[in-house]
Amino acid sequence: MYRAPLRELRFVLDELLGAASLAACPDLGDYSDELAASVLDEAARFAQTVLDPLNKPGDSEGARWTSDGVVTARGFRDAYQQFVAGGWPQLGADPEFGGQRVPQVLATAVQELWASANLAFKLCPMLTHGAVHALELCGSKMQKQLFLHKMVSGEWTGTMDLTEPQAGSDLAQVRTRAVPDGKRFRVFGQKIFITWGDHDLTSNTIHMVLARIDGSPPGVKGISLFIVPKVLVNDDGSLGARNEVRCVSIEHKLGIHASPTCVLAFGDQDGAVAHLVGEANHGLAYMFIMMNAARLSVGLEGYAVGERAFQHAAEWARTRIQGKPPVAQPSGPAPIIHHPDVKRMLLTMKSSTEAARALALYAAFQLDLGAYAAEESQRTAAQIRADLLIPIVKGWCTEMGNEIAGLGVQVHGGMGFIEETGAAQYVRDVRITTIYEGTTGIQSNDLIGRKLGRDRGAAMQALLADMARELQALKTDNVAASATRKAALEAVTLLERATQSLLGMLASRPDLGMAVSVPYLKLCGFVIGGWLMAKSSAIAVARSGGPDREFYEGKIRTALFYAEQVLPSALALARVVESGSSSVVETDAALV
C-alpha cells in the first residue's frame, strides 16, 4: 500500500526551500505553509484511497482499443470523475478560466503523489495542463474562451501531438499537412505515440498538433501549431459533430498499460478541422512551452516511481525472513533488512529519491520566482536558473528512478522477478520516463548546447558559486553533517573543473562535448543533489532536539549515506567528462 511521504514533502517545501517566502510575491499572497499542508493532505488522501487501488489492476487489464474508441481500465472513469469533482485539474491554472493559482513548487509536489500512486492515470491531467498552459500564453482570445474553461475544469482533456512514424524526435521531418479553409484549416496526416490520445473519460479531447501549412519553409522553421478537437466545438461552446480524428490503434507497451498510447489519423476524407495557434511557422516555439512543462513533470515521475519502489522494497525487507545477518540478532533467521547489503540498497533508494525530490522542487521554486518575484532582476535570474535546471531534472531524476526501481527488484531477490509481488511493475512503468519528452541524450545536448553554450557557462558558474558559498557557511559540530558538507564541497569543485573542461571542448570541437554530455548531466544531478542533501543535514541537526527527533536523525543519516556511497559517482563522471570524449568521436561507426 502506498503511503504519501507528506513529512518529506513538507520538509523540502517549508524547511529546505522556505517556500512560504513566495507569499511576498504580488500574485501569491494567499500562499502559506498551512495552505500547502492542507492541499497535500487532501492530495494524499486521493492518491492513497482512489488512485493507488487502481494501479495494479490497471496494469493487468490495460486500456483497450475498439472501433468506437479506446476503453480505459475498470475504475479509471470513476476515479477521473472524482478527480474533477475534487477540483484537482484547476490546481495551478489561471483563475481567469476557473483555475486556482498556486505556486509551481506546490503543484509539483502534488504531482509526485499522483505519479507514485498511479503513473498511468497521472499522465492524462499532466498533458492537459501542458496544453492549457500553451493556450494561456499563445492562444487567441476566442480560442481561450472556447477551450480553456472546460479544459481547466477537467471536463475536456488535452494532448501533445508531435511524433510521426518517419520523424521520431526529429521534428524537422514532420509531414502532417494543414490546408487553409477560410478562417480555419484542414489537417491531414498521422501521429504516433500520443499519450491519452483517445479515451472514454471525457466527452472531448483537444489535440495540440504540429503540422505544415502548404508552402511553408522546410525544416522546423515551417512548423505551425494547431488546435484539433476530437469533437467540433460550436461558437457557443456546445459540442457539434465528430471531427476527422480517429484512433487507429494503441501500442502494446512494456509498462504504463492503463495509459493508452495512440496512433491517430487526421483527415481521412475532407480533413480534420483545425485552428491555428498564434503565428504560422512558429509552432515549435509554442510547443516547447508544453514540452518544458512536461519535462519537469516527467522528471518528477522518475523519483516518484522510485519512492513507490522504495516503500515496496522496504516493507518486503522488514517482513521477509531469510538467513542470519552477521550482527547480534535473536537466534535463527531474521528479516533481511538487517543484512548489510540489503540495508545498503534501501539507503541508496531512499537517499537518491530524497536528493532527486529536492532538486526537482528547487527547480520548480525557481520557476515560481521567475514568474512572480517582485523585482525584475530576481525574476530574470531565477528563470535563467530554472532553464538551466530543467534538463538536469528531466534527465537525472528519471535515470535515478530507473536505478531505484531496479534495486527494488533486487531487494526482493527472485521474488522481485515475479509479477505477483508488484516490484516489476515499477521497473516497467518508470522505463519510459528517460525517453518521454526527449531522451536523456536530448536533455544533455540541450543542457550543454543551449543552456551552457548560450552564455559561456555564466548561469552554471552562478549556481556553482551559490552552492560553494552556502556549503562553506554550514558550520556544525555534528560529525555526520560535517562529513556530508565536506563531500558536497569537494563535489562542487569537481563539477566546476569539469564545466571548464567542457566549455573548452564546446568552443573548439562541439562533437567532443556532445560525446560526454550525458555524463556531464548526470554529474550535475549528483552534485546539486549533494548540495541540497548537505543543506538538509544541517537543518536536521539544528532541529533534531524537538518532538520530530527520529525524523531529523533519519535525515542526517540518509544525507551521510548519500555523501559516502552515492555522491562519489561524481568523481568517476568528472573524469569521463574531462578525458572520455576521444574514445567516442575517434571510433568509426562501422566499428561500433
241: three-class secondary structure by DSSP: strand
Beta bridge mates, 553: none
Three-state DSSP string of 166-230: CCCCCHHHCCCEEEEECCEEEEEEEEEEEECCCCCCCCCEEEEEEEEECCCCCHHHHCEEEEEEC
Contacts of 579 (CB under 8 A, 6+ apart): none
Cα–Cα distance, 193 to 140 (Å, whole number):
28
**Amino acid (one-letter) located at 69:** G
Is 125 among the domain residues?
yes
The pLDDT score that the predictor gives to residue 36 is: 98
| One domain for residues 148 and 168 | no
Residue 329 has a pLDDT of: 63
CATH number at residue 23: 1.10.540.10
- Phi, psi (deg, nearest 5) at residue 185: -130, 165
> Do 461 and 489 contact (CB within 8 A), yes or no?
no
SS3 361: helix
Q: Do 142 and 248 fall into the same domain? A: no
- Structural domain includes residue 439: no
Considering the domain architecture, whether residues 13 and 144 belong to the same structural domain is answered as: yes
Domain end marker among 94, 118, 153? 153
Same domain, 450 and 499: yes
CATH number at residue 204: 2.40.110.20
pTM, rounded to two decimals = 0.96
Q: Which domain holds residue 222?
A: 157-283
Domain boundary among 131, 153, 175: 153
456: alpha, beta or left? (left if phi > 0; alpha if psi -120 to 50)? left
Same domain, 573 and 463: yes
Tell me the one-letter amino acid at 22: L
Examine the domain organization and report whether 90 and 163 are in the same domain: no
Residues contacting residue 216 through CB under 8 Å, at least 6 positions apart: 222, 223, 224, 280, 281
- Tell me the CB-side half-sphere exposure of residue 11, using CA atoms within 13 A: 24
* Nearest residue to 197 (alpha-carbon basis) of 278, 128, 119, 292: 128
d(CA 79, CA 85): 10
Task: Answer yes or no: is 368 within a domain.
Answer: no
Tell me, letter by letter, the H, E, C secondary structure of 443-503: HHHHHHHHHHCCCCCHHHHHHHHHHHHHHHCCCCCCHHHHHHHHHHHHHHHHHHHHHHHHH
Residue 243 DSSP class: P
Cell readout for 97 is 478560466
Question: Is 401 domain-assigned?
Answer: no
Together in a domain, 506 and 450:
yes
Q: What is the 3-state secondary structure (H, E, C) of 127-144?
A: HHHHHHHHHHHHCCHHHH
Statement to judge: residues 183 and 114 lie in one domain: no
d(CA 14, CA 551): 15
Among the candidates 124, 153, 182, a domain finishes at: 153
Question: Measured between alpha carbons, how far is 424 from 416 in angstroms, rounded to an integer?
Answer: 6
Write out the catalytic residue numbers. 437
| Identity of the residue numbered 556 | I
CA dihedral 180, 183, 186, 192 (to 10 degrees): 110
Question: Do the domain assignments include residue 561?
Answer: yes
Indicate whether 97 and 223 sit together in one domain. no
Residues 145 and 173 in one domain: no
Spatial contact of 212 and 224, defined as CB atoms under 8 Å apart? yes
Residue 550's φ and ψ, nearest 5 degrees, are -65, -40
Look up residue 239 and give its amino acid. Answer: L
Distances (CA, A) of 54 to 21, 73, 78, 203, 432: 37, 9, 11, 22, 20
238 and 111 housed in the same domain? no
CA distances from 147 to 32, 115, 178, 275 (A): 31, 26, 20, 11
Provide the 3-class DSSP secondary structure of residue 587: coil
- Number of domains making up the chain: 3
* 420 within a domain of the structure (yes/no): no
Give the span between the Cα atoms of 522 and 393, in whole angstroms.
10
499: in domain: yes
Distances (CA, A) of 529 to 106, 446, 493: 19, 20, 14
Residues 281/223, Cβ–Cβ less than 8 Å: yes
Q: With contact defined as beta carbons under 8 Å apart, do 396 and 525 qualify? A: yes
Same domain, 148 and 11: yes
Taking only the tens of pLDDT, the chain with its 592 residues reads: 999 999 999 999 999 999 999 999 999 999 999 999 999 999 999 999 999 999 999 999 999 999 999 999 999 999 999 999 999 999 999 999 999 999 999 999 999 999 999 999 999 999 999 999 999 999 999 999 999 999 999 999 999 999 999 877 777 889 999 999 999 999 999 999 999 999 999 999 999 999 999 999 999 899 999 999 999 999 999 999 999 999 999 999 999 999 999 999 999 999 999 999 999 999 988 888 878 888 999 999 999 999 999 999 999 999 999 988 887 566 778 899 999 999 999 999 999 999 999 999 999 999 999 999 999 999 999 999 999 999 999 999 999 999 999 999 999 999 999 999 999 999 999 999 999 999 999 999 999 999 998 899 999 999 999 999 999 999 889 999 999 999 999 999 999 999 999 999 999 999 999 999 999 999 999 999 999 999 999 999 999 888 899 999 999 999 999 999 999 999 999 999 999 899 999 999 999 9
Residue 339 within any structural domain of the chain: no
